[in-house]
Structure 1
Amino acid sequence: MRVLAVVLVGLAVEVTALVAAFGAWGLLPTLGLLVLGGVVGSVLLRREGVRAMAAFSEAVRTRRAPHQELADGVLIAAAGVLIVLPGFVSDVVGLFLLFPPTRRLVSGRMARRAAERERSVVLNLRYGQHPAAGGAVVDGVVVEGDVVDVRPESVERRELP
């Protein structure tokens, strides 16, 4: 649901920017800027994609985990999609993701969020709470994949430290 909201807001922002550009500059300059953004973005996309592949190959060759290289590849692919979509805002965001310093900021944030999420899941599993079960721990007897004996008094909730 959150993704749909982001897509709808992004679409509204793109349409608003295109209408404003058309009103300010006219049809041909607006189309020219869209094409220019696509061409510049494609050139940068190709250059950064080649760099990312070379860095990934080097990491694999030296037997180092290519975490940063994979994150760069994902962000470059996302930038490519954003640049291909017509619109000024998506082109700016795509170009933002193509430049290595800004890409490092985004990938660093992604890594921190993934580490926080991993820590949360590990703590939940360590203390017998599974996120899908709502944190309930149920003792029972399982025979051939079916739960045949569940004791309601054994259901307990534990708080995480």
Structure 2
Amino acid sequence: MAVVFLLYVIAEFAAIWAVGSAVGVLGTIALLLVGAFVGSWLARREGGKAMRAFVSTAQSGRNPEKELTDGMLIALGGVLIMIPGFVSDVVGLLLMLPPSRAVARRLWLRRAEKRAVRYANRARGPVMVVDSEIVEPEPRPSEKPHPVIEGRIIEG
């Protein structure tokens, strides 16, 4: 993680240096300020849309997974836009725009699903699903059996 942060800082300095060389110091400062103002306006607008979609979906009784994830990604994009720098502004802007946010949402949900399965397997031990039935290995004599958690398997 420290390497990623170091690469981010180097990329930010390089971007600011390049823009500063092209438009000057005052132009660079102006672009950073304009980016922060436009980003905060966009975050407020998209956040409001996400909140209305969340409330509508929750009131209809459907699972608001998509809307909740969109709200989280919009908040992350807003934070990134408020951090001074061009790289963070571009990533934050990409999280604000619906087409690129949909890609980020799919990646995020896929990662969360894998982590949830990994955590469940670590907490309960290995579990195998065969034809929608949970098949657990026989417990060792020194262990007590894990409780079976009932639920649906959602594919999509």
TM-score (normalised: structure 1): 0.73
Deviations 1:24-67 (A, max 9, x none): 22111111111111111111111100000001110111122211
Q: SS state of the match for residue 55, structure 1?
A: helix
| 1:16 paired residue number | 14
**Deviation of residue 123 (structure 1)?**
4.1
Q: Which runs of 5+ in 2 are unaligned?
A: 128-139, 145-156
Instruction: Give unmatched runs, 5+ long, in structure 1.
Output: 129-136, 142-161
Deviation at 1:119, TM superposition (A): 2.9
Task: From the two aligned structures, give the one with the greater strand fraction.
Answer: 1
Q: Which of residues 76, 79, 88 is equivalent to 2:77?
A: 79
| Correspondence for 2:92 | 94
Task: Provide the rounded CA distance (Å) in 1 between the counterparts of 2:30 and 2:12.
Answer: 16
Deviations 1:69-100 (A, max 9, x none): 11011101110110000111110100000001
**Secondary structure, counterpart of 2:72 in structure 1:** helix
* Structure 1 pair 51–126 and aligned structure 2 pair: CA distance change class (3 A): same
Rate the CA distance shift 1:138–1:112 in 2: closer, same or farther, 3 A: farther
TM-aligned CA deviation for residue 127 of structure 1? 2.7
AA aligned to 1:25 is: V
2:142 maps to which residue?
139
AA in 2 matched with 1:30: T
In the alignment, what sits opposite 1:49? 47
Tell me the C-alpha RMSD between the 2 structures.
2.1
Q: Distance in 2 between matches of 1:24 and 1:119?
A: 49
- Give the whole-Å Cα distance in 2 for the aligned partners of 1:74 and 1:127: 31
Which residues in structure 2 correspond to 1:30-49 (within 5 Å)?
Answer: 30-49=28-47
- Matching residue's letter, 2:19: A
Match of 2:84, SS state, is: coil
The answer to whether 1:127 aligns with 2:126 is: yes
**1-structure distance, mates of 2:91, 2:77:** 7
Gap change, CA 1:140 and 1:70, over 3 Å in 2: closer
The amino acid that maps onto 1:99 is: L
Matches of 1:71 and 1:127, distance apart in 2: 29
Q: 2:18 & 2:7 partners in 1: Cα distance?
A: 16
- Give TM-score, length-normalised by structure 2: 0.75
Q: Distance in 2 between matches of 1:31 and 1:119?
A: 46
Partner of 1:26: 24
Supply the distance in 1 between the matched residues of 2:105 and 2:51 (Cα, whole angstroms): 16
